[in-house]
Amino acid sequence: MIQTAHGEVQTPAFMPVGTQGAVKSLTPSDLQDVGAQIILGNAYHLYLRPGQEIVRKAGGLQSFTGWHRPMLTDSGGFQVFSLADLRKITEQGVRFQSHLDGSRHEFTPESVMRLETDLGADIVMAFDECIPYPSPRDYVEQSTARTARWAERCQAEFRRLGPERRHPQALFGIVQGGTYADLRVRSAREMTGIGFDGYAIGGLAIGEPKTATWEAVAAACSALPPGKPRYMMGVGFPEDIVQGVALGVDMFDCVMPTRNARNGTLFTSRGKMAMKNAKYAQDFGPVDPDCDCYLCRCFSRAYLRHLFMAGEITAAHLGTIHNLRFYLSLMEQIREAIERDRFGAWRNEFSERCSSVD
Amino acid sequence: MIQTAHGEVQTPAFMPVGTQGAVKSLTPSDLQDVGAQIILGNAYHLYLRPGQEIVRKAGGLQSFTGWHRPMLTDSGGFQVFSLADLRKITEQGVRFQSHLDGSRHEFTPESVMRLETDLGADIVMAFDECIPYPSPRDYVEQSTARTARWAERCQAEFRRLGPERRHPQALFGIVQGGTYADLRVRSAREMTGIGFDGYAIGGLAIGEPKTATWEAVAAACSALPPGKPRYMMGVGFPEDIVQGVALGVDMFDCVMPTRNARNGTLFTSRGKMAMKNAKYAQDFGPVDPDCDCYLCRCFSRAYLRHLFMAGEITAAHLGTIHNLRFYLSLMEQIREAIERDRFGAWRNEFSERCSSVD
């Protein structure tokens, strides 16, 4: 359990992604209905639009977005490094061009701490470099060392800004190190040495083989302090979350459930369903008979398929409600299994259910 | 008040448009929250997709869409005639090509009655020709006479299909006659002669001057029986609805509130607001302080503007909730004013409020 200024977050937790200050197609009321306890905003996107000044004047992200519960902002590291040709890294920070209008900007550890203080989420992430996969060991080593130096600068600036906060904020460091287990351990030790309220494992699920992902997570976890939250960034499929929990991860975020929903792919207790498939045209049963969401309680597969085929926004809305409910209900099951000390048994049952793909 | 198999509709009523079986971006739960009592589906669109067979097998539109309250289907006349070069009219009916894939189809009074029986709305419209504006008097006269012959065939087929209905359906005739007052009177008399459960005034608000619109409505109303519902199709702006009520109209439908919402134009008690306007960027007040909808209770103009600027689906969703609440609250005010026998006074107040455009 994580305590924040806007309430408790039970762990393991999944955080729906609200890139631009809204989880796409949903409202805060919908998010409460599906059982979300914390959501994520992207500092890079909010910096460009509407800009930190407007969010600050609105009283911070919660007040601006109407989601008066826990929030986390990433640091923009992942987004900025995704810009590829549009950015240049120095020791000072990163100069980049906006993907919206090509305008020039710079992120430094200090400017990002100011940005995240203005945005005012309960948990804020240090500024890091998300290293591409594959990358030569030399580069990963240099970049990870710079991320550690940036983490120290973030920590110092975050403390300096303390008196300006409206409410307490927690700062998380980010472990990098690519797919090199020893560099992950080294990075985890460096971050622990600096000392953060929690630790993220970044730079994974970006194209590397699954075995490499889990090796890196295990290595990082082995060197992180036991009493602090661990957050695996940008992950993932339901089975990845279960695996992450098995390795000791407490927090996850991913656009998977929301993006897939908008494309018509729904997660269910029996596997994934491509809702546009013609076989659902006259299927008047619920999408997932085991699901308690609004979609599954009140509408048929045939109706949802029709809405997707007809390009209706309501399809994205209902699909997103369902997929998030699936993810959040999964987390509820995991937490209950852990509490009852039967996570291993639950995990076996889960794997069996998931292998019977619809 | 109109009694249907799925409940009562208080009049004057505004019907949100759910073209393809969903009011764009909303769910039935949202529609209940904004106070909708009846919604409209488009027979032409539902005929093409998902097709009447699927809706029939689902148990009718209410069962298919999850909206278990009153519904009305138009007859497809307006949509088919909007196809222009893609259709050919004969005494038998209309041959047309689908706007989706160019496939060839035919609507006749008989096939449309079968279609609307399969769709199963509480109120169904007779098949008519929506005459373009402007049209020569000769053509309007011939077409309106044919619409009357089609109305008789609709009536006969509707009766013949009686034993196949799951629940009682009401059939409304449609008065045509273009902008020629005498032809409107003649059409209204012909429809009254055939005898329907209610009467629509069609073929208006398609580009003719406002004075011509109201002259045609007044003429039609003068010749319609006093005890049956009158429905002005496809209208309109709030002030048009108020004017229609003044002339004795009981029912309205229009895509205006929903379409405008998706484009960022919101109706308020002080006039229309273009939400993308830069002047709202730092405006942290509610869209309409006099409105009780979810948007106005929980979010600011600045946040809604941000969502529209960022292209978030949630903007369309919240905007639609607001605009429909504005229209449905307007109808509540009108009904209350009529009940308290002060519609004239209320109308003056309304006009004054509306003239102060934001």
pLDDT in tens, A94-148: 999 999 999 999 999 999 999 999 999 999 999 999 999 999 999 999 999 999 9
| Contact residues on chain B for A281, CB-CB shorter than 8 A | 50, 54
Six-digit token pair at A280?
Answer: 């659902």
What are the two backbone dihedrals, phi and then psi, of residue A347, each rounded to the nearest 5 degrees? -60, -40
Q: Considering chain B, what percentage of its residues have pLDDT values greater than 70?
A: 99
A281 and B54 in contact by Cβ < 8 A? yes
Q: Euclidean distance between the first and final Cα of chain B, in Å?
A: 35
What's the pLDDT band for B356 if we cut at 50, 70, 90? low
- For B327-348, how does the pLDDT look when each residue is reduced to its tens digit (9 = 90+)? 999 999 999 999 999 999 999 9
Residue B64 touches chain A, beta carbons under 8 Å: yes
Higher-confidence residue of B78 and A159: namely A159
pLDDT at B80: 86
- For A231-290, how does the pLDDT look when each residue is reduced to its tens digit (9 = 90+)? 999 999 999 999 999 999 999 999 999 999 999 999 999 899 999 999 999 999 999 999
A303 and B27 in contact by Cβ < 8 A? no
Give the 3-state secondary structure of residue B174: strand
SS (H, E, C) B128-142: CCCCCCCCCHHHHHH
**Fold of the A2-254 domain:** TIM Barrel (3.20.20)
Residue A277 touches chain B, beta carbons under 8 Å: no
- For A52-97, how does the pLDDT look when each residue is reduced to its tens digit (9 = 90+)? 999 999 999 999 999 999 999 999 988 888 887 889 999 999 999 9
| Cα–Cα distance measured from residue A206 to residue A19, given in angstroms and rounded to the nearest whole number | 18
The DSSP H or E segment spanning B171 is strand B170-175
pLDDT at A356: 56
pLDDT at B81: 83
pLDDT at B125 over 80: yes
Residue B276 touches chain A, beta carbons under 8 Å: no
What's the pLDDT band for B358 if we cut at 50, 70, 90? very low
Six-digit token pair at A153?
Answer: 């600068």
Residue B277 touches chain A, beta carbons under 8 Å: no
A303 and B65 in contact by Cβ < 8 A? yes
Check if the beta carbon of residue A294 is closer than 8 Å to that of residue A31. Answer: no
Residue B28 touches chain A, beta carbons under 8 Å: yes
Average pLDDT over residues B74-86: 86
Q: Which of A74, A118, A240, A250 is catalytic?
A: A74
pLDDT at B357 over 60: no
Check if the beta carbon of residue B174 is closer than 8 Å to that of residue B146. Answer: no
pLDDT at A353: 82
pLDDT at A156: 98
What's the pLDDT band for A354 if we cut at 50, 70, 90? confident
Residue B301 touches chain A, beta carbons under 8 Å: no
pLDDT at A83: 84
Give the 3-state secondary structure of residue B297: helix
pLDDT at B82 over 60: yes
Helix axis angle, A343-355 relative to A313-339, nearest 10°? Answer: 150
pLDDT at B322 over 70: yes
User: Which of A57, A282, A317 is facing B317, going by the closest CB pair?
Assistant: A317
Helices (H), B19-136: 28-34, 43-48, 52-58, 61-65, 77-82, 109-119
Residue B139 touches chain A, beta carbons under 8 Å: no
A229: Cβ contacts below 8 Å, ≥ 6 apart: A2, A11, A172, A197, A198, A199, A250, A251
Residue of chain B nearest A294, judged by CA positions:
B29
Residue of chain B nearest A300, judged by CA positions:
B64
Closest CA to A80 of A147, A148, A169, A29: A147
User: Which of A28, A50, A312 is facing B22, going by the closest CB pair?
Assistant: A312
Rounded to two decimals, the pTM is: 0.97
Closest CA to B48 of B20, B89, B16: B20
A310 and B20 in contact by Cβ < 8 A? yes
Query: What's the CATH superfamily of B2-253?
Result: Queuine tRNA-ribosyltransferase-like (3.20.20.105)
Check if the beta carbon of residue B143 is closer than 8 Å to that of residue B27. Answer: no
Check if the beta carbon of residue B353 is closer than 8 Å to that of residue B270. Answer: yes
Q: What does each C-alpha distance from B261 to A51, A68, B41 come to in angstroms?
A: 24, 25, 19
Positions of B annotated as catalytic residues are: 74, 253
Q: Which of A122, A250, A253, A288 is catalytic?
A: A253
Residue B299 touches chain A, beta carbons under 8 Å: yes
pLDDT at B77: 87
Q: In the annotation, is A290 catalytic? A: no
Residue A279 touches chain B, beta carbons under 8 Å: no
| Contact residues on chain B for A58, CB-CB shorter than 8 A | 284, 300, 302-303
A302 and B29 in contact by Cβ < 8 A? no
Residue B42 touches chain A, beta carbons under 8 Å: no
pLDDT at A358 over 50: no
pLDDT at A355 over 80: no
Residue A263 touches chain B, beta carbons under 8 Å: no
| Cα–Cα distance measured from residue B237 to residue B242, given in angstroms and rounded to the nearest whole number | 9
Closest CA to A239 of A271, A207, A215: A271
Average pLDDT over residues B174-195: 98
B282 and A54 in contact by Cβ < 8 A? yes
pLDDT at A142: 98
Six-digit token pair at B314?
Answer: 């949630």
pLDDT at B284 over 90: yes
Average pLDDT over residues B228-249: 97
Cα of B237 to nearest chain A Cα, Å: 24
A-B Cβ pairs (cutoff 8 Å, strict): 114
| Contact residues on chain B for A314, CB-CB shorter than 8 A | 22-27
Average pLDDT over residues B119-140: 97
pLDDT at B256 over 80: yes
Cα of B60 to nearest chain A Cα, Å: 12
Q: Euclidean distance between the first and final Cα of chain A, in Å?
A: 35
Average pLDDT over residues B297-318: 98
| Contact residues on chain A for B23, CB-CB shorter than 8 A | 314
User: Which of A57, A66, A294 is facing B29, going by the closest CB pair?
Assistant: A294
Average pLDDT over residues B128-148: 97
Q: Pairing between strand B7-9 and A94-97?
A: unpaired
pLDDT at B311 over 50: yes
Domain ranges of chain A: 2-254, 260-355
